[in-house]
Amino acid sequence: MDRIKCIILDIEGTICPISFVKERLFPYALDVLPYVLELRWNDAAFKSYRDAFPEEHRASPEALRAHVIDLAKQDVKIAYLKNLQGYLWEDGYRNGNISAPLFDDVAPQLRNWKDEGKVLAIYSSGSVLAQKLLMEHVKVTVEDGSDSGKVEDLRGLISGWFDTVNAGAKNNEESYVKIAKELKVDLDACMFCTDNVSEAIAARQAGMSAVLVKRSGNEPLETRAMQVFRVVDDIRL
């Protein structure tokens, strides 16, 4: 790890359980969407999110809602949907209805790396807004693993925030080149941690080190991937 100066982290399935995203965040967005469309359709603050959708899907609140439901069912990772989801989650985080459970090893290891002078960054298909909300509202657990009812803000540990808008597709090696350039760190001094094999391949092709994180609840990794990449159960590398 001595040659590694920068650690770039995926979120879903890497530092945060997939179940939180699939079973809490996605349903919450769909639950509040009808009320947001009814009350904020013409609000200036909502206009940019609405107008990012294709014209045929923003002709009315009903059309936009139907399109969002369809995209969510297909788990489509498209920028205008991800940006809207971040907007919909914001109120939930702010009013305490949502707090993010990170895996137990994550917060201590982020602090350790920061103390060692490592540059830390997030690269997720979720929007930068969604990333920052999640890291701002991290659920604090007590020693027995139960919820303390408190949250902590870990944004100060992170130096860079990247999504498919400002960096590019996660299975494209050029995205990782762009991230390293933005962070001003040589590619061979960067390490990307993810649960996704195609992303690990792209990062390695770009010149980064890549580590596959195998968490409970993730899809099983193929045997060949486990032979080609370093595979870990947590990020205490």
Report the alpha-carbon distance of residue 136 to residue 177 in Å, rounded.
27
Rounded mean pLDDT, 121-148: 92
In this structure, the answer to whether residues 166 and 84 fall within a common structural domain is: no
Domain that holds residue 32: 21-95
Q: Percent of the chain at pLDDT above 90? A: 94
List Cβ neighbours of 38 (8 Å cut-off, separation of 6 or more). Answer: 61
Residue 133 burial (C-beta neighbours within 10 Å; 0-12, 13-18, 19+):
buried
Helix%, strand%, coil% for the chain, nearest 5: 50, 15, 35
Q: 87: closest CA among 39, 128, 54, 138?
A: 128
Last residue of a domain, one of 95, 127, 157: 95
In this structure, the answer to whether residues 130 and 188 fall within a common structural domain is: yes
Rounded mean pLDDT, 40-62: 97
Q: Which two tokens stand for residue 9?
A: 């982290």
Q: 173: closest CA among 192, 156, 159, 154?
A: 192
Q: Grade residue 11 by pLDDT with cuts at 50, 70 and 90.
A: very high
Q: Is the pLDDT of residue 193 over 90?
A: yes
Rounded mean pLDDT, 17-46: 96
Task: Give pLDDT, residue 144.
Answer: 76
Q: Which two tokens stand for residue 8?
A: 């770039």
In this structure, the answer to whether residues 185 and 128 fall within a common structural domain is: yes
In this structure, the answer to whether residues 32 and 105 fall within a common structural domain is: no
In this structure, the answer to whether residues 165 and 49 fall within a common structural domain is: no
Classify 188 as helix, strand or coil.
helix
Task: Give pLDDT, residue 166.
Answer: 97
Last residue of a domain, one of 47, 77, 95: 95
pTM of the model: 0.94
Rounded mean pLDDT, 39-43: 97
How many other C-beta atoms are found inside a 10 Å radius of the C-beta of residue 101? 17
Q: Is the pLDDT of residue 105 over 90?
A: yes
Report the alpha-carbon distance of residue 147 to residue 124 in Å, rounded.
26
Q: 76: closest CA among 3, 14, 17, 125?
A: 125
What is the biggest distance separating any 2 CA atoms in the chain, rounded to whole angstroms?
55
Q: Grade residue 34 by pLDDT with cuts at 50, 70 and 90.
A: very high
Task: Give pLDDT, residue 148.
Answer: 84
Q: Is the pLDDT of residue 78 over 90?
A: yes
- Among 121-125, 210-214, 222-226, name the one with the lowest average pLDDT: 222-226
In this structure, the answer to whether residues 68 and 115 fall within a common structural domain is: no
How many domains in the chain?
2
Q: Is the pLDDT of residue 143 over 80?
A: no
Asked if the structure places residue 30 within a domain, the reply is yes
Asked if the structure places residue 144 within a domain, the reply is yes
Task: Give pLDDT, residue 142.
Answer: 78
Asked if the structure places residue 140 within a domain, the reply is yes
Rounded mean pLDDT, 134-163: 92
In this structure, the answer to whether residues 123 and 212 fall within a common structural domain is: yes
Q: Is the pLDDT of residue 149 over 90?
A: no
Last residue of a domain, one of 95, 119, 146: 95
Task: Give pLDDT, residue 146.
Answer: 77
Q: Grade residue 42 by pLDDT with cuts at 50, 70 and 90.
A: very high
Residue 74 belongs to a domain with what CATH number?
1.10.720.60
